[in-house]
């Protein structure tokens, strides 16, 4: 373990996470609109059993475009950064399979009400010869 004692945003192993982490208080769920008549959205769900809003959607971040088919999300800092105290999980990366678009969502400023921070447009992806982020 590094000098900071594993004070970064992850855990050295999945077992360490299981044994030493606290239960999540909120989760972010990608919600796809199958008939594509309105934009997909990211739902913030309260999963804290001690909270009065437990097991409810507490906010929705609607993306600006229709047909993105948002998919697996990921963090801007992965678990391999567990020993780097300069890293934090401040952004959620949300790719769109149907659009080649990537959304960067700020979950640090107000974790209960995330905001869109940046959009990487399809043409930006295509300029590097890549598409269909997954």
Length of the chain: 134
* 73 vs 55: CA distance, rounded Å: 20
For residue 37, CA distances in Å to 30, 40, 50, 68 come to 16, 9, 36, 11
What would you report as the CA-atom Rg of the chain, rounded to the nearest whole angstrom? Answer: 16
Lookup: tokens for 85: 């105290």
Kindly state the greatest CA–CA separation across the chain.
52
Give residue-wise pLDDT tens across range 5-32. Answer: 556 566 777 788 788 878 889 999 999 9
The pLDDT confidence band at residue 74, using thresholds 50, 70 and 90, is: confident
E-strand ranges in 13-86 read 26-31, 41-46, 57-62, 74-75
What's the rounded mean pLDDT across residues 64-90?
77
What is the value of pTM for the model shown?
Answer: 0.84
The pLDDT confidence band at residue 80, using thresholds 50, 70 and 90, is: low
For residue 38, CA distances in Å to 65, 70, 94 come to 8, 13, 17
């Amino acid at each position: 373990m590094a000098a900071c004692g594993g004070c970064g945003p992850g855990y050295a192993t999945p077992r360490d996470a299981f044994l030493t982490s606290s239960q999540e208080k909120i989760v972010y769920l990608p919600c796809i609109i199958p008939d594509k008549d309105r934009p997909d959205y990211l739902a913030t769900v309260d999963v804290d059993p001690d909270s009065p809003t437990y097991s409810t959607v507490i906010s929705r971040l609607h993306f600006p475009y229709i047909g993105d088919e948002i998919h697996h999300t990921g963090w801007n800092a992965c678990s391999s950064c567990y020993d780097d105290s300069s890293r934090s999980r401040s952004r959620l990366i949300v790719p769109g399979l149907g659009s080649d678009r990537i959304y960067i969502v700020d979950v640090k400023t107000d974790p209960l009400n995330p905001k869109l921070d940046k959009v990487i447009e399809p043409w930006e992806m295509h300029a590097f010869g890549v598409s269909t982020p997954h």
